[in-house]
């Protein structure tokens, strides 16, 4: 398919992202955006469709080297008026993560417009439900594809790549007791809940003693707490988000948390092991050179959040990393925006990276992962944290 050159210039790249940000797509409400994105990818020369779970998918090229560019189209709630101002594009999802996803689609289209016979097949996936524990889109993609390399689209900054993410355990803890008058000396459920949270927080600090890097620490956050009573029994429920380092898998974290709550009832509502990969694969070298060619010194990050790469990289066992323009500090904020020049620089970096991967196809396909701590987190026994 021949693509009008005007669809591929920088103005068109900005308009692509603006149009995506203008279509709301909070988690589990991505259908309208998926249809929109598939249509826009078709204009860029990608063969687009919406898959069985609602992912927006665009493919281009015939291989034999295969790559998956896995982004996500869902956002957290919160309307932000879409506008271009002061060299920035404002809107929910501009950074997290429609900016990286738009950059994927545009870079793929530009590469094949220049080199239609490039020995590469790319699949651009805009996954659903990344911002909620289900990760439904990534789970589906994990089972559908077996690529030779993967780039996950999350904001790293146009001059950086992310090499690892923490895992998580999301849980509810319920305390209950017979009802009593507030005038009595017995602690109220609200007081008991606060006391329990203080104990969990203190246990977290003890666990982290001697761990200098944030990436190596256990993070425990109290997200919400709610009291209720039917007149006979009083209850309080604490909603917890526990972020896990590489050496603490979700099962070990569950054992640790259960030890802190005593007679409380624990309900696990989501789990994901941490992940980290090497920075020495042919894919990493290609991206490093591409950033350098744009005049920047590449940066290598380990983040305390979690991403879809935690799911797919251990299954695919191919060179994998996370990359995307945008400042992650703006994720989920009321001021979410992306600097347009950085977005455009990110597209150029991706173009050069994809072309380099095609040239280095033999090395990419020959790459074999080595055993890492993360492999243990996905199956073998690891150290259980002490209470």
Whether the bond into 64 is cis, omega within 30 of 0: yes
How far apart, in whole angstroms, are the C-alpha atoms of residue 331 and residue 164?
A: 18
Nearest Cα to Cα of residue 281 among 347, 372, 370, 378:
370
Cβ–Cβ < 8 Å for 319, 281:
yes
Structure tokens at 19: 């149009």
Bridge-partner residues for 302, per DSSP? Answer: 164
Catalytic residue of the set 74, 249, 327, 351 = 74
- Which of the residues 130, 131, 249, 308 is marked catalytic? 130
Distances (CA, A) of 55 to 46, 72, 324: 15, 8, 19
- Angle, vertex CA 310, rays to CA 306 and CA 316, nearest 5: 160
Residues 6 or more apart whose CB falls under 8 angstroms from that of 56 comprise: 33, 34, 35, 37, 38, 41, 48, 50, 73, 125, 126
Q: Does 331 qualify as catalytic in the annotation? A: no
Q: Are 151 and 349 in contact (CB under 8 A)?
A: no
Q: Catalytic residue at 74? A: yes
User: Of the candidates 123, 149, 122, 155, which has an alpha carbon nearest to the alpha carbon of residue 137?
Assistant: 123
Supply the residues annotated as catalytic: 74, 130
């Amino acid at each position: 398919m021949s693509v009008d050159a005007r669809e591929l210039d920088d103005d068109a790249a900005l308009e692509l992202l603006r149009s995506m940000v203008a279509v709301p797509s909070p988690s589990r409400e991505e259908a309208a955006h998926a249809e929109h994105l598939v249509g826009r990818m078709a204009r860029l020369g990608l063969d687009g469709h919406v898959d069985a779970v609602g992912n927006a998918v665009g493919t281009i090229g015939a291989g034999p080297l295969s790559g998956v560019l896995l982004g996500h189209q869902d956002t957290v709630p919160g309307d932000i008026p879409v506008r271009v101002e002061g060299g920035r594009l404002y809107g929910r999802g501009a950074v997290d993560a429609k900016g990286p996803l738009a950059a994927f689609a545009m870079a793929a289209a530009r590469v094949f417009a220049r080199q239609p016979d490039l020995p590469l097949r790319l699949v651009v996936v805009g996954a659903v439900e990344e911002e909620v524990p289900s990760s439904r889109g990534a789970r589906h993609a994990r089972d559908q594809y077996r690529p030779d390399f993967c780039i996950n689209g999350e904001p790293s900054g146009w001059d950086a790549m992310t090499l690892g993410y923490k895992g998580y355990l999301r849980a509810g803890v319920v305390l209950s007791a017979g009802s009593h008058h507030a005038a009595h000396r017995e602690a109220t459920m609200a007081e008991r809940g606060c006391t329990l949270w203080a104990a969990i927080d203190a246990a977290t600090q003890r666990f982290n003693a001697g761990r200098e890097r944030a990436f190596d620490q256990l993070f425990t956050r109290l997200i919400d707490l709610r009291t209720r009573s039917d007149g006979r029994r009083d209850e309080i429920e604490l909603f917890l988000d526990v972020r896990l380092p590489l050496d603490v898998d979700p099962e070990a974290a569950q054992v640790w948390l259960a030890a802190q709550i005593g007679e409380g009832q624990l309900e696990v509502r989501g789990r994901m092991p941490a992940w980290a990969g090497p920075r020495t694969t042919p894919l990493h070298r290609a991206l490093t050179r591409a950033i350098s060619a744009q005049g920047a010194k590449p940066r290598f990050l380990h983040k305390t959040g979690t991403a879809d790469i935690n799911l797919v990289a251990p299954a695919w066992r191919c060179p994998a990393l996370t990359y995307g323009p945008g400042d992650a500090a703006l994720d989920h904020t009321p001021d979410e925006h992306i600097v347009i020049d950085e977005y455009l620089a990110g597209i150029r970096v991706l173009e050069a990276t994809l072309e380099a991967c095609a040239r280095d196809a033999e090395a990419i396909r020959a790459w074999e992962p080595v055993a890492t701590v993360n492999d243990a987190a996905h199956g073998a026994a690891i150290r259980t944290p002490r209470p």
